Amino acid sequence: MAQSDIADQTSGSGSSAEKGSILYDPKVRGLFFQIVLLAALIAWVLWVRRNTLDNLEAQGQAMGFDFLAGTSGFQILTTLGTWVFDYQVGSSTYWDVFLIGIVNTFAVAFLGIIVATVLGFVMGVFRLSSNFILRGFATVYVEIFRNIPLLLWLFILYFAVLRNLPDKRDKVAIWGESVGLNITGLYAPFPITYEGFWMSAVAVLVAVVLWIILGAVMKKRQEVTGQQFPTFWVGLGMLVAIPTIVFYSTGAPLEWEYPVFTEEGPVLRRGYQAGIGMVIVPEMIAVWAALTLYTAAFIAEIVRAGILAVPHGQSEAAGALGLRPQPTLNLVVIPQALRVIIPPLTSQYLNLTKNSSLAVAIAYPELVSVFAGTALNQVGRALEMVFMMMMVYLFFSIATALFMNWFNSRMRLVER
Amino acid sequence: MSRENYAFVRTEDAPTLAPPPSQVGITGWLWQNVFRSMANYSTVQASIQSGAMVILTAVIFYLGFTGIWKILDFSVFQAVWTDPEGQKRAVCATIQQGGALPNDWYGACWPFVTAKWKLFVYGRFPEPELWRPNLVFAGLAFGITWLVAGSIPRRRLVGAIVLATAAGLAFVYQTMIGVPFYERIGVWLLVIIGGILLAAPTEVGGRIVGLLSLTVLPVAAFILLTGGHLEVSSGFWFGWLPATAALIGFGLAGQRGMLGAAGEALGGTAFSLGVVLAFICGAVFLATIDFGMPVVETAEWGGLLVTLVVALTGIVASLPLGVLLALGRRSSLPAVRLLSTVFIEFWRGVPLITVLFMSSVMLPLFLPEGTEFNKLLRALIGVALFSAAYMAEVIRGGLQAIPKGQYEGAMALGLPFWRMMNLIVLPQALVLVIPGIVNTCIGLFKDTTLVLIIGLFDLLGSIQSSFTDPTWSTPVQSMTGYILAATIFFLFCFGMSRYSMYMEQKLRRGHSR
């Protein structure tokens, strides 16, 4: 009796729920809320579009990307970008300015990533050292650089350090006559290549390819026969030897143009002579150094966490198998640590690239500064220019995200 | 058998030997932590490694030592501390530069900071109105101390020390500098912080204060800082007041079953929405009242005040937005999921500067013609949306860590979606990611410096702008200002990171029970 009562009740309530409550049906509710959301979104977009068109009309502006063909009328600091695209005031277009901005952004990001990775790995390993001096130094380094804003570092390096260097009639010698520093930048020898240099460049590529092939072949041999081969040293030897031989057999088609520093003569002619040798502007040095030092502190923490994430049992097991400390590190600890390190490391690289936009504060001509800053003031096409600038960063973010997905699926632990 | 038959039996314990010198004392510590890593010369390889370690340690020691020495030398030993004769720049200038200091002098110029500190803290906020930001700072100090009071070890002792410091500072001001101590905000802040630490907040009190600091404090801070006088068109009231009343009425009636199935189904949602709207209407109403305070335009705000306003608005706005976005990204509804994902990935994919550029250049274009739009408000909107995307990803991590059984258990209890999230899932998920949330807050706090690029004067911007004052211009001026800014940012960020580490440890202990 009681049993059937309960059964009646449950079936009763169930049927009433089925009958009377289309409102309680999750599918109907979900559909309803999504339609409301989409309708609101479309209404909002239309409203924004209406307002934007009205505002542009009131300002007498049109929309479109035709301004990109117009010639730009402002100077850009001599950097890699202006050198690559041979920037000339009055004949180069705004499209050139855009490309120069991209090149300068990635020049500083690329250099920053390389040095920050090296410095970050060194500091990360130092933080785990049993040597108090190394550990303490790395800890202080990481805490100081992580807890002070990047923009402040940029200002300290640029306004307080590089702006206080000797003026353009004077210098600080770094490497004798060939490398020197003053308020106008870092002067260094500039490589001038002659015909046939491309063969040496190709030789480097060939050596790298040979190294990869050698590695694959020797790995296969080791799997079959158990014999090891010193791939690293042979590869390194090839990388040094092949380009060197090619370089000298083509007649050494490279010359270094040394900067010229004049100490005599009329005051206005003293100092480094323009156009001779290579000059790296102080803005670039400041951005590069600030990005590197700041990001390296984060990379150090990632490296430390990655190494700590490999359980102690792993190296103990390797020791029990008879592996020596060096192969244990190379074959057991580092591969597992890298699996933890690489995803956050990539996002740090992305952060560094995005943070290079802070260079606008000291007028290093990267994308934001030269395109959304100077060019925007000249042309006034805010909508299109900010859109283009955002798309560049977004493109690289999404490309990195795709790479990370590919990497994660490749490195994922294969379980039975 | 007797004992004598054995060759040797020890009848008492061997004496405990002192530990070897390599284990104890300063030498032991040095051996363990410094020299042991470079003392192995048994094989060729070990000798090379040890030798390399010696060189490396020496180089690093030299670098670290000179670095610390240079900073100390600049900011303490060489520094000029006071300017008793009011000489301004001459007090920090060398003979060559027109002062009295030796030509190779290079040190901090602290009188410059003493002369400018009001600019660094309040910007150009009018002098007679300074009590208003001070009151906001006091409220903030109160709320934050209350929040972290439970996590400070030996809280009472720390509180007593803070109070003693306040007393000492008051004494120094009163007798040695000759400024009445009650005119010094620093003294009052220390009194508040020390008082709360001593008074031991209770659990219930903590919740009430938490609720107050989330509702009353922002409204009060807004009115105090701007001075109220908010102008709202009558259309606002005609539109929003009836809507609020209708939502609350519908919700109450629906929940009591007066409106049938539809009312019952949507009553809860309508009521919650109505309460939020009522709160907003109330806050707007309060802001329109004339409290007799003169209006202070946001263009006159600056310094630490702007830094804190931007950072706290970003944090407070990004938490609820981040929760919504995180839930949206994990939703089973495809449109909601897609929109949330696109929103999050867009904001995370672009640098904050471009966001600020966009909000300062493009936002006015998006709004109806003639809408007057405050520069600070534009930056705040950009910062809030930007940080919401980052917060959403952190919170999503927490949501993913909650086992499916928790969701299923809540559903089995018959809890509707928002109840399930509010009562079961979010309390667990948010607690799990507190370290991540604090890290995002640290990042946001550091990123507030970027607002100077769009022409707002935050702490760094105010310091940077003070360098143009010719009455103080010396070569050491910029380094002095930057060291001050670096110290302030370091204290805030380092404090937050320690708090997050403490929370992490506390949470880990909870799980290993």
Average pLDDT of chain B is 84
Closest CA–CA distance from residue B307 to any residue of chain A (Å):
12
3-class SS at B508?
A: helix
Whole-angstrom distance, CA of residue A371 vs CA of residue A44: 29
* Interchain CB distance below 8 Å, A397 and B348: yes
Task: Give domain limits for chain B.
Answer: 126-229+290-295, 237-282
**Is 50 exceeded by the pLDDT of residue A10?**
no
Closest residue of chain B to A61, computed from CA coordinates? B365
* Interchain CB distance below 8 Å, A147 and B482: no
Q: Which residues of A touch B497 (CB under 8 A)?
A: 146-147
Q: What is the ipTM of this complex?
A: 0.85
Looking at residue A21, what is its pLDDT?
65
| B400-415: burial string, b at 16+ Cβ within 10 Å, e else | eebeeeebeebeeeeb
Mutate to test the interface with A, among B366, B411, B440, B441 (most CBs of A within 10 A): B366
Taking each helix axis from N to C end, the angle separating B131-149 and B203-226, rounded to the nearest 10 degrees, works out to 160
pLDDT (tens digit per residue) in A175-196? 777 888 888 888 888 888 888 8
Please, are residues B343 and B494 in contact by the beta-carbon 8 Å criterion?
A: no
Helices then strands, counting H and E runs in chain A, come out as: 14, 8
Closest residue of chain A to B367, computed from CA coordinates? A51
Q: Which of B450, B488, B491 is nearest to B113 (CA)?
A: B488
Query: What tokens appear for B289 in the block?
Result: 């009242």
Q: Which residues of B touch A371 (CB under 8 A)?
A: none
Please, are residues A101 and A367 in contact by the beta-carbon 8 Å criterion?
A: yes
Amino acid at B137: F
The H-or-E segment that residue A282 falls in is: helix A282-308
Task: Give domain limits for chain A.
Answer: 15-58, 80-189+258-411
* Interchain CB distance below 8 Å, A160 and B335: no
What's the average model confidence in pLDDT over B497-513? 70
**Is 60 exceeded by the pLDDT of residue A400?**
yes
Q: At which residue do the structure tokens 């030398």 appear?
A: B73
Q: What is the pTM of this model?
A: 0.86
Give the single-character DSSP code of B19: P
Whole-angstrom distance, CA of residue B196 vs CA of residue B305: 23
pLDDT (tens digit per residue) in B109-131? 888 888 888 889 888 888 888 88
Q: How far is CA A226 from the centre of its chain?
A: 40
pLDDT (tens digit per residue) in A126-165? 998 888 899 999 999 999 999 999 999 999 999 888 888 8
Looking at residue A197, what is its pLDDT?
83
Q: Is A148 exposed, middle or buried (0-12, 13-18, 19+ CB in 10 A)?
A: buried
Query: What tokens appear for B60 in the block?
Result: 């690093």
Q: How many Cβ contacts (< 8 angstroms) between chains A and B?
A: 159
Closest CA–CA distance from residue A290 to any residue of chain B (Å):
14
Q: Which residues of A touch B261 (CB under 8 A)?
A: 20-21, 23
Q: Which residues of A touch B489 (CB under 8 A)?
A: 147-149, 152
* Interchain CB distance below 8 Å, A33 and B333: yes
Please, are residues B373 and B363 in contact by the beta-carbon 8 Å criterion?
A: yes
Amino acid at B410: A
- Taken in order A171, A174, A179, A184, the sign of the CA dihedral is negative
Query: What tokens appear for A218 in the block?
Result: 């020797």
Closest CA–CA distance from residue B368 to any residue of chain A (Å):
5
* CATH class of the domain at A80-189+258-411: mainly alpha
Give the single-character DSSP code of A71: B
pLDDT (tens digit per residue) in A372-392? 888 888 887 888 888 888 899
Mutate to test the interface with B, among A57, A144, A147 (most CBs of B within 10 A): A147
Closest residue of chain A to B360, computed from CA coordinates? A382
Please, are residues A296 and A145 in contact by the beta-carbon 8 Å criterion?
A: yes
* Interchain CB distance below 8 Å, A146 and B369: no
What's the average model confidence in pLDDT over A100-105? 90
Closest residue of chain A to B445, computed from CA coordinates? A149
3-class SS at A251?
A: coil
Looking at residue B202, what is its pLDDT?
58
**Is 50 exceeded by the pLDDT of residue B511?**
no
Give the single-character DSSP code of A254: E
Closest CA–CA distance from residue B188 to any residue of chain A (Å):
27
Please, are residues A383 and B362 in contact by the beta-carbon 8 Å criterion?
A: yes
Nearest beta carbon to residue A393 from set B350, B368, B453 = B350
Whole-angstrom distance, CA of residue B484 vs CA of residue B465: 14
Taking each helix axis from N to C end, the angle separating A197-225 and A231-249, rounded to the nearest 10 degrees, works out to 160
Q: Which residues of A touch B362 (CB under 8 A)?
A: 382-383, 386
* Interchain CB distance below 8 Å, B452 and A151: yes
Query: What tokens appear for B374 in the block?
Result: 């405050």
Query: What tokens appear for A67 in the block?
Result: 């301004």
Closest residue of chain A to B64, computed from CA coordinates? A137
Closest CA–CA distance from residue B133 to any residue of chain A (Å):
24
Q: Which residues of A touch B490 (CB under 8 A)?
A: 144, 147-148
